[in-house]
Chain A
Amino acid sequence: MLAFIIRRLLQSMIVMFFVAMVAFLMFNYVGDPVHQMVGIDTSFKDREVLRESLGLNDPVPLQFVRFITNAAKFEFGISYQHKRSVTGLFKERLPATLELSFVAAFLSLVVGVPMGVYAGIKPDGWLSKIFMTFSLVGVSLPTFLIGILLIYIFAVTLGWLPSYGRGDVVNWGWWSTGITTWSGLKALIMPAITLGLFQLTLIMRLVRSEMLEVLRTDYIKFARARGLSDRAIYFGHALKNTLVPVITITGLQIGSIIAFAIITETVFQWPGMGLLFLQAIHNVDIPIMAAYLMLVAFFFVVINLIVDILYYVVDPRLRLDLGKANGA
Chain B
Amino acid sequence: MNKPLLSVENLRIEFPTRRGTLVAVDDISFTIDPGEILGVVGESGAGKSLTGQSIIGLLEPPGRIASGSIKLNDRRLDNLPYAQMKKIRGKEIGMIFQDPLTSLNPLYTIGRQLTETIQTHTDMTGKQAKKHAISLLEEVGIPAAAKRIDHYPYQFSGGMRQRVVIALALCVNPKLIIADEPTTALDVSIQAQIITLLKKLCADHGTAVILITHDMGVIAETADRVAVMYAGRLVEIGKVRQVVKEATHPYTKGLMSAIPSLTHRMEELTQIDGTMPRLSDIPKGCSFHPRCPECMDVCKEKQPELIDIGPTQVACWSYHDRQI
Q: Is A122 an interface residue (CB 8 A)?
A: no
Q: Is A315 an interface residue (CB 8 A)?
A: yes
Distance, CA A77 to CA B106, complexed state (A): 52
Distance, CA A232 to CA B103, complexed state (A): 16
Distance, CA A31 to CA B196, complexed state (A): 82
The answer to whether B95 and A222 have CB atoms under 8 Å apart is yes
Distance, CA A157 to CA B25, complexed state (A): 63
B-facing mask of A301-328, CB < 8 A → 1, else 0? 0000000000000111100100000000
Distance, CA A223 to CA B86, complexed state (A): 11
- Cβ contacts under 8 Å, A241 to chain B: 105-107
The answer to whether A221 and B89 have CB atoms under 8 Å apart is no
The answer to whether B102 and A226 have CB atoms under 8 Å apart is no
Distance, CA A223 to CA B168, complexed state (A): 10
B-facing mask of A226-246, CB < 8 A → 1, else 0? 111100100011001100000
Given contacts A226-B169, A232-B116, contact A218 B103 (CB under 8 A): yes
Q: Is B9 an interface residue (CB 8 A)?
A: no
Q: Is A43 an interface residue (CB 8 A)?
A: no
**Shortest Cβ distance from residue A71 to the other chain B in the assembled complex, whole angstroms:** 40
- Cβ contacts under 8 Å, B88 to chain A: 227
A-facing mask of B233-257, CB < 8 A → 1, else 0? 0000000000000000000000000
**Shortest Cβ distance from residue B100 to the other chain A in the assembled complex, whole angstroms:** 9
Smallest CB gap from B154: residue in A:
A317
The answer to whether A218 and B117 have CB atoms under 8 Å apart is no
Distance, CA A227 to CA B103, complexed state (A): 14
For window 242-295 of chain A, which residues contact chain B by CB distance below 8 Å?
none
Interface size on B, residues (CB 8 A): 30
Q: Is A134 an interface residue (CB 8 A)?
A: no
Q: Is B8 an interface residue (CB 8 A)?
A: no
- Cβ contacts under 8 Å, B104 to chain A: 219, 222
**Which of A228, A237, A315, A320 meets B120, CB within 8 Å?**
A228
Distance, CA A224 to CA B169, complexed state (A): 11
Give the number of residue pairs across the A-B interface with Cβ within 8 Å: 73
The answer to whether B97 and A226 have CB atoms under 8 Å apart is no
- Cβ contacts under 8 Å, A226 to chain B: 89-90, 94, 117, 120, 168-169
For window 197-233 of chain A, which residues contact chain B by CB distance below 8 Å?
217-219, 221-229, 232
Given contacts A314-B107, A316-B107, contact A222 B97 (CB under 8 A): yes
- Cβ contacts under 8 Å, A317 to chain B: 106, 152, 154
- Cβ contacts under 8 Å, B116 to chain A: 228, 232, 236
Given A224-B89, A236-B116, 16 more pairs with CB closer than 8 A: A219-B103, A219-B105, A222-B97, A224-B58, A226-B89, A226-B120, A227-B87, A227-B88, A227-B91, A227-B120, A228-B120, A229-B120, A232-B116, A237-B105, A316-B154, A320-B155
Could you pull out 19 A-B pairs where Cβ atoms are within 8 angstroms?
A218-B97, A219-B104, A219-B105, A221-B97, A222-B103, A224-B58, A225-B56, A226-B120, A226-B168, A226-B169, A227-B86, A227-B117, A228-B116, A228-B117, A228-B120, A236-B116, A237-B105, A317-B106, A320-B154
